[in-house]
């Protein structure tokens, strides 16, 4: 039906052009402008129609490459159909290699690879495509390509090279839309290289040069986080959090049986198991929403900020429950004791089932990919995913935190009960935007902080956590600026520490 409608549209457009005596290039331009307008209004079907008309019937016009680029971008950004995006972009490089859109095609091909990469192994291909943008001198995609090269290198852990790429954006294109982001990238990379002071300088520079940008806000979070952890120590002071008295959720009844607190851009999310609900509070502690959940056991926030609720027999993602099954001799066996769930950037869901005693990975369609990292039975208390897709597992038995790459390779292991931090009973783990790991000790109300390389940074004692504000913390999370949100079971309240 859709194809028939499209064909009719093509014929109508052609007839219209013939009757009006319009030159094909004029008509193509009009369709392009119309398509762009529809796209901006998010009327993607109409937009796609316009672009397809150009590609199909006016392939020789000077706008055909633009249309293809926009189609490719649609599939990439809207439908996230990487294969279709790639197909359209490849046409540009085959049929219009010298057009203005060719560097854009290379850029988006790089994006296709980047966004579809899970393990980091294809990031080199992404970088290669970004670099091909430079084959076309003085084209407008260069700053974007440089920036994306930086992000790809950053994800690969090549932080020095990432800084180089970001700096090229900053120095060579100081007024581009990518410059503020590049400054953040430099800052992040310096954080990962263990130079928080330089990182702070860069984040502040982002605020100074782009004071009204979205990046300025993000930089402020970074600065807060870093200064709290490093700046205070540079001053010879201990890292100290104080309780925010303004965060005082007013509820009809006290919170109880909170098993998870999670912070995201949309607020502070609290999972109450007995009451079977997920509540969301704003930064001032005001209740924003409350949603019923079916047998909820676990709560996480994915890379896009979506809540992932582990229900006993399903995982609720974006409000929709998804059930999972594993193969058995008797056929697919549904998971019935799901306790934890996290979702990665590409939509794979990692589910811990207490019956299976495994962390199982399912693709976005719900099909089992396999046990993660292997079939070894485990008792997992908490699962977290860092920004690059590594998984952190808090083992229930030994209370160790194991860090695993997306392929399941062991990256690090933190023995929480040993070392200078010596936690008595680790009950929860959280990650801040810098990738710093916070491990909560329930018994002594302490938090051990490790950097993104899993090196110990500091131990937050009861005194430094709000001056004894915590008695029996059972779950915590860290927001973008490093503030802590802790549920204290004794006080039956969410404590905001900043």
Q: List residues binding other proteins (CB under 8 A).
A: 160-161, 163-164, 167, 171-175, 197-198, 200-201, 203-204, 207-208, 211, 220-221, 223-224, 227-228, 231, 234-235, 237, 481, 483, 498
430 Ramachandran zone, left/alpha/beta (phi>0; psi -120 to 50): beta
- Residues in contact with 192: Cβ distance below 8 Å, sequence separation at least 6, in sequence order: 154, 157, 159, 434, 435, 452, 453
Q: How far is the CB of 141 from other proteins (least distance, A)?
A: 17
How near is the Cβ of 220 to other proteins at its closest, in Å?
Answer: 6
Task: Return the number of the residue (218 or 416) whose C-beta is nearest other proteins.
Answer: 218
Q: Nearest distance from residue 102's CB to other proteins, in Å? A: 24
Closer of 88 and 481 to other proteins (Cβ):
481
8 A C-beta contact, residue 323 and residue 311: no
Q: How far is the CB of 85 from other proteins (least distance, A)?
A: 31
Q: Return all residues near 240 (Cβ < 8 A) that are at least 6 apart.
A: 232, 464
- From the CB of 24, what's the least distance to other proteins, in Å? 23
Q: Which CB sits closer to other proteins, 225 or 359?
A: 225
CB of 190 to other proteins, least distance (A): 9
Instruction: Give the separation between CA 365 and CA 322, rounded to whole angstroms.
Output: 9
**Residues forming a β-bridge with 359:** 352, 372
Q: In this complex, which beta carbon is closest to other proteins, that of residue 198 or of residue 395? A: 198
Nearest to 475 by CA among 417, 421, 404, 394: 394
Q: What whole-number distance in Å separates Cα of residue 233 and Cα of residue 236?
A: 5
Task: Report the distance separating Cα 186 and Cα 381, nearest Å.
Answer: 35
Q: Which is nearer to other proteins, 69 or 184 (CB)?
A: 184
Q: Is the CB of 157 or the CB of 231 nearer to other proteins?
A: 231
Distance CA 298, CA 475 (A): 11
Minimum CB–partner distance for residue 465 and other proteins (Å): 15
* CA angle centred on 314, ends 312 and 318, rounded to 5°: 125
CA distance 242 to 91: 58
Nearer to other proteins, 237 or 355 (CB): 237
Provide the phi-psi class of 479: left if phi over 0, else alpha when psi is between -120 and 50, else beta. Answer: beta
Q: Are 459 and 496 in contact (CB under 8 A)?
A: no
């Amino acid at each position: 039906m859709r194809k028939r409608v499209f064909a009719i549209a093509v014929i109508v457009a052609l007839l219209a052009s013939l009757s009006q005596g319009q030159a094909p290039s004029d008509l193509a331009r009009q369709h392009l402008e119309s398509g762009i307008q529809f796209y901006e209004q998010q009327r993607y079907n109409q937009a796609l129609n316009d672009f397809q008309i150009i590609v199909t019937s006016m392939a020789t016009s000077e706008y055909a490459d633009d249309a293809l680029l926009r189609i490719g971008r649609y599939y990439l950004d809207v439908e996230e159909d990487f294969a279709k995006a790639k197909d359209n972009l490849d046409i540009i490089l085959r049929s219009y290699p010298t057009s203005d859109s060719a560097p854009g095609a290379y850029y988006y091909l790089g994006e296709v690879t980047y966004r579809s990469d899970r393990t980091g192994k294809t990031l080199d291909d992404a970088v290669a495509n970004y670099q091909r943008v430079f084959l076309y001198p003085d084209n407008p995609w260069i700053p974007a390509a440089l920036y994306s090269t930086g992000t790809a290198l950053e994800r690969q852990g090549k932080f020095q090279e990432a800084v180089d790429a970001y700096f090229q954006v900053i120095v060579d294109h100081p007024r581009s839309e990518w410059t503020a982001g590049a400054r953040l990238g430099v800052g992040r990379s310096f954080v990962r290289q263990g130079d928080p002071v330089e990182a702070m300088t860069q984040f502040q520079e982002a605020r100074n040069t782009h004071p009204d940008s979205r990046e300025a806000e993000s930089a402020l979070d970074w600065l807060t986080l870093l200064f709290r952890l490093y700046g205070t120590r540079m001053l010879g002071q201990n890292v100290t959090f104080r309780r925010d008295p303004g965060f005082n959720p007013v509820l009809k009844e006290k919170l109880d049986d909170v098993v998870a607190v999670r912070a995201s851009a949309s607020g502070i999310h609290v999972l109450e198991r007995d009451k079977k609900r997920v509540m969301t509070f704003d930064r001032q502690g005001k209740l924003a929403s409350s949603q019923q959940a079916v047998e909820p056991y676990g709560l996480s926030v994915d890379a896009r900020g979506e809540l992932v609720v582990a229900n006993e027999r399903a995982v609720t993602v974006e409000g929709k429950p998804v059930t999972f099954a594993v193969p058995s001799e008797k056929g697919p066996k549904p998971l019935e004791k799901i306790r934890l769930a996290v979702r990665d950037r590409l939509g794979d869901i990692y589910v811990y089932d207490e019956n299976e005693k495994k962390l199982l990975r399912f693709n976005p369609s719900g099909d089992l990919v396999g046990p993660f990292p292997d079939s070894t039975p485990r008792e997992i208390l908490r699962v977290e995913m860092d920004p690059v897709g590594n998984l952190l597992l808090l083992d229930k038995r030994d209370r160790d935190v194991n860090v695993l790459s997306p392929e399941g390779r062991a990256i690090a292991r933190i023995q929480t009960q040993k070392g200078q931090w010596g936690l008595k009973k680790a009950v929860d783990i959280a990650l801040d935007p810098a990738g710093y790991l916070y491990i909560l000790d329930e018994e002594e109300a302490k938090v051990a902080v490790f950097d993104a390389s899993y090196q110990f940074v500091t131990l937050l004692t009861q005194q430094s956590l709000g001056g004894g504000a915590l008695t029996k913390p059972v779950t915590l999370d860290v927001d973008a600026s490093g503030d802590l949100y802790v549920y204290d079971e004794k006080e039956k309240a969410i404590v905001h520490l900043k």
